[in-house]
Amino acid sequence: MKKNEENIDQQVEKLVKDLEPLIQQMERIYDDAVIAYTPLVDELCSRKATENEVEWMLDWLLMYAGDERMLQLYKKVCRTYWEIYPESIAFYIIEYRKEYDPESLIGTEYEYLLNEIDYCDD
């Protein structure tokens, strides 16, 4: 049994080592996204944008919201436009929770969303 555990540990270590270049590349992508989106979010939040503009921005930010810095940009847009476009912002908050924090939906009226079939993946 001990030999099997050692073998598994070696496989995990190899996998982590093999994934290191991919992880570094993802970090660079997130860094670039923060640099690109920060001025766009700042500009959007400095004026009264249309609902379509806000939704478009949140669509793009959602792809990167797994990164804490991008999540802060996402939250900034949501907080800025909550009172102006509450239905749209509520939708995007739920979308974030479905994607990145599904446990937070368990036991709520939105738990059923965790079982939705995404037909775009077919």
Q: Note whether 44 and 77 are within 8 A (CB).
A: yes
* 118 in any annotated domain: no
Work out the average pLDDT over 73-85.
98
Structural domain boundaries, residue 7: 2-86
Q: Does residue 91 form part of some domain?
A: no
Q: How far apart are CA 113 and CA 30, in angstroms?
A: 28
Encoded tokens for 31: 């860094």
Span 85-98, average pLDDT: 96
**Overall number of domains in the chain:** 1
| Structure-token pair, residue 28 | 């660079």
pTM of the model: 0.78
- The yes-or-no verdict on residue 95 having pLDDT over 80 is yes
Per-residue confidence band for 120, with pLDDT thresholds at 50, 70 and 90: low
The pLDDT assigned to 1 comes to 59
Average pLDDT over residues 7-17: 86
Report yes or no on 111 lying in a domain.
no
Here the tokens at position 16 are: 């982590």
- Residue 57 near residue 26, CB atoms below 8 Å: no
